[in-house]
Structure 1
Amino acid sequence: MYKKKILLSILASSILVAQEIELKQITVTSATTTTQSIEDVTSNLNVITAKEIEEKRYTTVVQALNSISGISFTSNGPIGQTSSVYLRGLSSKRTLVLIDGIRYNDLTGLSGAPFGDLMIGDIEQIEVIKGAQSGIWGADATAGVINIITKSAEKGAHASINVEYGSFSTKKYGVLASYKTDAYYIKASAQKIDSNGFSSLVPNGDDIDMYEDDGYKNTTSNIKLGFNFDENNKVDLSHTLIYSKVESDPFATPNGIENSITKDSFSQVNLNHKNDFTELDVYAKLSIFNRDYPQGWTKEFDGEVKEYGIKSNTAYNDDDFVVLGIDYKTFEHKNDLQEKYNNKAIFLTNSNEFTLLGGRTVLSESMRLDAYDKFDNKTTGKVGIKHFCKNIDGLVTSANIGSSYNVPTLYNLNDPTYGNKNLTPENTLSYDLSAEYKAFKITYFNSKTKDMIDFDLNTWKYFNATGETKIQGFEIEYNTKINEDISLTSNYTLLDAKNSDDKRLQRRPKNSLKLALDYYGVKDLHVGINGEYIGERHSSDDKQGTQTGKYTVVNFVTNYDINNNFSVYAKIDNLFDKYYQVVDGYATAPLSAYVGVNAKF
């Protein structure tokens, strides 16, 4: 018995060491605009890795994000329909979303990033930085930053192919090829999804088979290439193109016809120089948004965000560094508005490591000055501290406080019917406190927003609300290996989100619980089950309207590696065929099944 306890103790220790090593190997770029080890970041963050994406067989980025504590979502029907992600109770338009560091927030829309078109395919990892980040990234980073990083080329020649088929005649294809030498690299990928879907608009309680299907097509392609001039100088380029076609139903019109076509692209070029003193990046980025609604009142929405900047990262005192940069951005809404504004900014981030109370401590400070030609100048900042306790192995505490702001969109300001030229930016102050002990972590978060931009149903105009929107809550995470064959991932979020009238905000669940169990006990086989419970949630503020919460959904997935280069998988979403709606009057998928194959060369 004594020997058995020793063996179990050794096994548990080895599992914890392996988890710690894996954690240290993950690096992120969104926390300070420069690459850092995840354990050196003071901000609250979650990273979804390519391995997790492959094992869970997510179809959309929203599905992957929904596995994280503090995140909930709504969707107006099947795949491809309008989707909103709520990060710590704040809506999508208050979260800055990036693809390889390029802005994905659609300045011609009203909901921030168009999450409905973000499919899982060529993704290396998804970084979610929580809390106010305007001191680093500027406007639109009130709730946090989501950075989707596409895969990079590996040394030598590589290729992969993915094929999937399933419910609603959904077909998914993916191909990736890359080649890398010491002098240059190139990587190209394309992912295509074609689904018949089901009706987006379905009265609550009705069967989706009573209505016509709303299909969806998406082709997302990405190319990365680079050239090393010498060991100190290189150039990197990337380009992502998203083309989609969505069938949907007009408002309150099941079986109606409303189509949209999207052609968005995101490009950048980055010149990198390293010397003994600093690392310098000079960059240009371009986001192009092009949406066409043939049956819509306004047919076309076209916009551009152009960004130019220079940034230096200077290390000093071994473990310390300072980032200094300037950037210039222009935002243009074309078509019926023909309006634009620009932004100039200077930003500074400093990070230090030192010993406090005998333990390692990381302290970071960020400050940014933004000057818009349409709004008053704005200075925002962020301070974070993270402490690794010396006397209690595995205990880590952290605290962050930051200010942030959101600017009105050109549509908010200039639409001839609904616009209000007197709108001013929203202002938010938020903080969080965390304690982490080995596999367990608890976080308290709090934010207060003044001048929240809202829509007045009496005047049919946008306006700045008086008072404060107050959001607070707790995130609890427990992720561990139960034994060498079974791992557990779990989190719970308690949210208290109230508007400036002290009434609970719509569409945010008060409680949510997410669980995932993964089994690896059979060689080359992975079996997983995951699910979530969504607590009380209503379609209108102040707990009014339809109850759209209080349900549980469970999913199943299995992967089998035939050899090192070939694998097959199957998944069942909504395993117990639960009927529910996340937005009143819009359908969700019943039990649905998919099978797929992966090949690597």
Structure 2
Amino acid sequence: MAQQSELELDPVTITASVQPKPVSQTGRNIITFKGSSFNNLPVHSVDELLRYLPGVEMQMRGPMGSQSDIVLRGGTFQQVLIMLDGVRINDPNTGHFSSYIPIAPAEIERIEVLKGASSAIYGSEAVGGVVHIITKSFAARRKQQKLQLQGQVSGGEYDLFSGNVGGLYQSGNTAISGGFLSNNTDGQLQRGTRGYVHANTASLSANHFINEQWQVAARVAYDNRDFSAQNFYTTFLSDTAREEVRTVWTQLRVSYSGVDHKVNIDAGYKDVKDDYAYNKVSIANASTSRMFQVIATDEWKLSQQTSMVSGVQFINKEISSNDRGDHQVPQGGAFILINHSFLQGFTINPALRLDWNERSGTELIPQISMAYRYNSIRFRGSAGKTIRDADFTERFNNYNKPSVASGRIGNPDLAAERSFSYEAGADYFVGAALKIGATFFQRYHRKLIDYVTTPYADMPRKDNLVAGGTYALAKNIAKVNTTGAELDIQYQRKFQKNSNLYAGAGLVWLNSKSSELTPSFYVSSHARFMSNFFVEYTYHRFLISVNGIYKNRATQDAPAIHAVVEKDYFVFNARAAFYTWEQKMNIFVRVDNITNTRYSDLLGAQMPGRWLTGGVSFAFSR
């Protein structure tokens, strides 16, 4: 059991170096979470789960998967790359859709969160880090016999009905998995409206090993979110918005594995329809975005100490919108990564990418990571360049309307962001159950893209604007420098047959300085200090789990809608369960926001108060 616990504190990751490699050899700070614990914690959706992983900041606009912005190390929400089984799912329309991950919880094998610069391998968006979802079917191995089923049904206040079900079946060389997640509620009362949510996700995948060398895997998924979006994007009194986002996702993988050689070809296609109505009398913004991508990687084991990964990637992004117009942007890249071990416990991982974007041209992106493990301590460090091009909303928001009296205005002349990041840290393994990691990091940004309040007279384009209107223009900020430190704690221990503890906690301190005299929207919204945690404890027939978050940030207010972002808040949730059938089925109650704290992550988007629910959960495997 001690060996297994140590393995889970230093798991094999594919995110930092593409090929499977222990975290301690990557030189990176990586948090790994077991997908099997989703039903054991007081969470309803994947974005709520991410909120309590050490060091991950979720700027939530609503509950249960309505909408959340993902922030790592004080970047903006567009600076985090989200991946599903090796393929990016960030939407070209806007980073606000990044938390709409088209996967049912029952399919999740694990979640890997890589903190820090990763553009040398993954290209654009991998600035603050990478959130990588690895699923059970795509992670399946040859010649195994498995059956895993899990599900949960719950109900509660505000006409809440929530359910998720799914699992994996593998017979020999074929694995099939699928699942369904549904969250529905009339919502709590907000400013004259209710924060309703109807969120449904269905996914199905299969993996087949043709023989010892060849493997093929495929997935199809459908995701639909219909929710109240009042003051999600504005602080105007007339905002009573609603929004519906529908996603169709398909992906395909073909792999060849030799003795010292492996080739992967991954393809993905995403189609997203977004309908946003500011209020009942406004014409809805109707946008359809599409993204097609292909990535091929070639892994070689050159010697016992050295391996090499090379890859090429092509992405085509397009949008058709009555608000943003019709646009298309192709981009591509090629990269090479070396993994080399020498001496005792020392590894070095240099990487170089050549990236091309039709708008921003060609760019060389270097990065290097190093790690050294001495007994129970792992020292690590990394430095690298990052890039990010503007999305379609930042370039064309409100551009195609006949008249715009106020709001956020896109800027088609935005240049690509560039930054240089470095970090240094250490991990201490206390026995086989506890890992403590500390990291110091800095990021130097140039031309960072964010919205800045801009007078009508200073707007570069006034064609459809109204004199005297209130506007926020997407701009390139000359310099934004971020300094920070983070502490991550992971604990996992099995005490006896029916007693175990699984926990994680994170602390993050950040300081961002901007050259812009007027504070920009999203750079100033991240937490200056944040602590989050989760604890899951099982003792015979009882399961108790809690999670929580504390944030300290800059205060904001919007008197017109009586909205305030307080200096700090603390929210925690709890779940208590009693097993009726061994440790396979339980009856539970849960309380969200136990202290009934009134808070917002983003100005105007009020989060729910105390919420009581209960239900039945099961998990079965053989």
CA shift in 2, pair 1:353/1:110, >3 Å: closer
Q: 1:67 aligns with which of 52, 73, 78?
A: 52
- Cα offset for 1:374? 1.9
In structure 1, the partner of 2:199 is 218
Residue type of the partner of 2:586?
Answer: S
Supply the AA of the counterpart residue of 2:548. G
Q: Check if 1:320 corresponds to 2:320.
A: no
Greater displacement, 84-93 / 425-434: 84-93
The equivalent residue for 2:9 is 23
Q: What corresponds to 2:243 in structure 1?
A: 260
Cα deviation 1:252-288 (Å, max 9, x = unaligned): 5779753322211221111111223411112321121
- Residue in 2 aligned with 1:136? 121
Q: Which residue of 2 aligns with 1:206?
A: none
CA displacement, residues 436-482 of structure 1 (integer Å, 9 cap, x when unaligned): 22232211011011011233422157554353101111112334479
Q: SS in structure 1 opposite 2:125?
A: coil
Instruction: State the alpha-carbon separation in 2 of the partners of residues 447 and 112 from structure 1.
Output: 25
Structure 2 residue ranges without an equivalent (≥5): 401-408, 430-434, 460-470
Select which of 382, 386, 391 maps to 1:409: 391
Q: CA RMSD in A?
A: 2.9
Cα displacement (A) at 1:116: 9.2
* Unaligned runs of at least 5 residues, structure 1: 1-13, 203-210
Q: Distance in 2 between matches of 1:310 and 1:195?
A: 42
| Cα shift at 1:157 | 4.5
**For residues 112 and 564 of structure 1, do their structure 2 counterparts lie closer, same or farther at Cα, with a shift above 3 Å needed?**
closer
User: 1:185 aligned to 2:175?
Assistant: yes
State the match for 2:67 in structure 1.
Answer: 82
Matched position secondary structure for 1:58? coil
Whether 1:557 and 2:539 are equivalent positions in the alignment is no
Write out aligned runs for 1:406-485 (5 A).
406-414=388-396, 416=399, 418-438=409-429, 439-456=435-452, 457-458=454-455, 459=459, 460=471, 462=473, 464-480=475-491, 484=495
2:510 is equivalent to residue 524 of structure 1: no
Runs of 4+ off more than 6 Å: 116-119, 253-256
Secondary structure in 2 matching 1:168: coil
> Following the alignment from structure 1 to structure 2, what is the Cα–Cα distance between the partners of residues 342 and 19?
45
Question: Residue deviations 1:333-388, cap 9 Å, x none?
Answer: 11342210111211111111121xxx401211111111122222011121100110
**Distance in 2 between residues matched to 1:315 and 1:398, nearest whole Å:** 23
User: More strand per residue: 1 or 2?
Assistant: 2
What do the CA deviations read for 1:96-127 (whole angstroms, capped 9, x no partner)? Answer: 11222332222112536145988755322221
Distance 1:501 1:374 in 2: 25
- Residue 227 of structure 1 deviates from its aligned partner by 2.5
Structure 2: how far apart are the matches of 1:124 and 1:57? 19
In 2, Cα distance between equivalents of 1:585 and 1:463: 20
- 8 Å Cα contact 2:53/2:533 also seen in 1: no
C-alpha offsets along residues 464-506 of structure 1, whole Å, 9 cap, x if unaligned?
Answer: 4353101111112334479956666332211112222388742
Report the AA paired with residue 223 of structure 1. Answer: L
1:539 aligns with 2:550: no
Distance 1:441 1:156, change over 3 A: closer
Q: Pairwise mapping of residues 153-552 of structure 1 onto structure 2 (< 5 A)?
A: 155-199=145-189, 201-202=190-191, 211-249=192-230, 251-252=234-235, 257-293=240-276, 297-336=283-322, 337-355=325-343, 359-389=344-374, 393-414=375-396, 416=399, 418-438=409-429, 439-456=435-452, 457-458=454-455, 459=459, 460=471, 462=473, 464-480=475-491, 484=495, 489-501=504-516, 505-520=523-538, 522-539=539-556, 546-552=564-570
TM-aligned CA deviation for residue 297 of structure 1: 4.1
| In 2, Cα distance between equivalents of 1:28 and 1:312 | 17
Task: Evaluate the alpha carbon distance shift between residue 253 and residue 407 of structure 1 in structure 2; reply closer, same or farther with a 3 A threshold.
Answer: closer
AA at the equivalent of 1:278: H
CA shift digits 1:135-185 (9 cap, x unpaired): 000111111111122332772444333212223222112221443222322
1:55 aligned residue? 40
SS at match of 1:572: strand
2:606 to 564, 582, 587: 587
Question: Percent identical across equivalent pairs?
Answer: 17
CA contact (8 A) 1:81 1:116 kept: no
State which drifts further: 397-406 or 491-500.
491-500
Q: Deviations over 1:491-538 (max 9, x none)?
A: 221111222238874222222223445544x31322233323222432
In structure 2, how many angstroms separate the alpha carbons of the residues matched to 1:502 and 1:49? 44
Q: Retained in 2: the 8 A contact 1:549–1:582?
A: no
1:96 aligns with 2:87: no
**Partner amino acid, structure 1, of 2:377:** L
* Closer, same or farther: CA 468–248 of 1 in aligned 2, 3 Å: closer
TM-fit CA distance, 1:56: 1.6
The number of aligned residues is 567
Aligned to 2:404: none
